[in-house]
Amino acid sequence: ANTASNVGSGSYPSEACTGNCADYRGVQTRTRSGYLCQRWDDKTPHNTNPYNSTAYPLSGLDGNNYCRNPVKTDQTNVASTIWCFTQSKEKVWELCTPIGVFAACPGGYKVGSQTMRDILKVCAYIIWGVAGLWLILVACLHRRVMLAIGL
């Protein structure tokens, strides 16, 4: 099976998921609109929560408020991605987006090779350095520029 691993590099949880994100085991606790997720084993403010670790033992619902997409193997009504019940009385549930995954970049922001990451890092330092020199130049030549434009 093609499933995301539970832990990324080091001791940080992975935000990876595949397909409809039923395999997601990250730590996202907010919906797309910023609502805080309700714990899966909590009955307030929404007591209509049929999702729990007994009914969905492989979905990672044990004692947390992380976004998930609980799915049973024979289930046909499945969300397109992770979601949660919210702690807001006005909004019962909402879809979530895994941390680091943006609508414009479905694959996230991961740069595959260490060489490319190093090149991007050097380019970023160069750009910041040039910007810093530009600011210093403008500050030093401020009086001359003002004199030249007649202010």
Judge contact between 32 and 83, C-beta under 8 A.
no
pLDDT (tens digit per residue) in 48-102: 668 888 888 888 888 899 999 988 777 776 788 899 999 999 999 999 987 765 5
Query: pTM above the 0.75 mark?
Result: no
pLDDT above 90 as % of the chain: 33
The answer for residues whose C-beta is within 8 angstroms of residue 105's C-beta and 6 or more apart is none
pLDDT at 107: 53
Rounded CA gap, 50 and 48, in Å?
A: 6
Rounded CA gap, 92 and 53, in Å?
A: 20
Which residue bears the tokens 């797309």? Answer: 32
When comparing pLDDT for 106 and 55, which is higher?
55
pLDDT at 97: 85
Average pLDDT value for residue range 101-111: 56
Q: Is 137 helix (H, G, I), strand (E, B) or coil?
A: helix
